[in-house]
Structure 1
Amino acid sequence: MISKNAGLVGKRIKMMRLAKGMKQKQLADGLKISQSNMSNIESGRCAVTIDHLIILREIFACSMNDFFVDIEKSADKSSNKGYSVEDLFKIVAKLKG
């Protein structure tokens, strides 16, 4: 069974992909994995590897911490101020059309 944290990381990867306007197949090709494997990662059915996180960091031009924001947030519910990072990604995705 995959941990809740793996699911949160997968959800974050999906949000970042959508915010960048990428298709799941494009991201899977960049990681040299199948689209079904990419789907499993994004849905939390499969954990992402460290090697893939390093490649994703380059693709999304972000820091490693960006993949784990939801994990930190769920550990510290008292820091709920304003918009979450997830909310901001959704807003950016909507603005991009």
Structure 2
Amino acid sequence: MAIEKVWQKLDESSLKRVSGQLGVFELGNKAGEVVYIGVADARSLFGLHGELAAKIGSVENFRCEVTTAYSTRRQELLMQHHARHGQYPCLNSGSETLSLGRLSP
């Protein structure tokens, strides 16, 4: 299942409510379409807060989910997106999606 949260505007004031925990996030455009699925992993400085702060100005919206199973959850979100739309989000690179399997509806 995709991240079932309301889109929030990606700006400094919204990020005040985002913690430095590990997890996954989706970035969206003005139309509410997912353009990137990312992760705040053990190598991320300041967790979700740090990863999202680095993206301010590049996209309009975000939604995130705190999870310790961030790697598996990101793979799941990417595969679900591909199953629904026939392609991966436009800002996810081929190296991020190369080894993923396929889900069928």
Instruction: Give the TM bin, normalised by the shorter chain.
Output: under 0.3
Judging by fraction of residues, say which structure has more helix: 1
**TM-score scaled by length of structure 2:** 0.26
Q: RCO higher in 1 or 2 (8 Å CA, sep ≥ 6)?
A: 1
**TM-score scaled by length of structure 1:** 0.27
Judging by fraction of residues, say which structure has more strand: 2
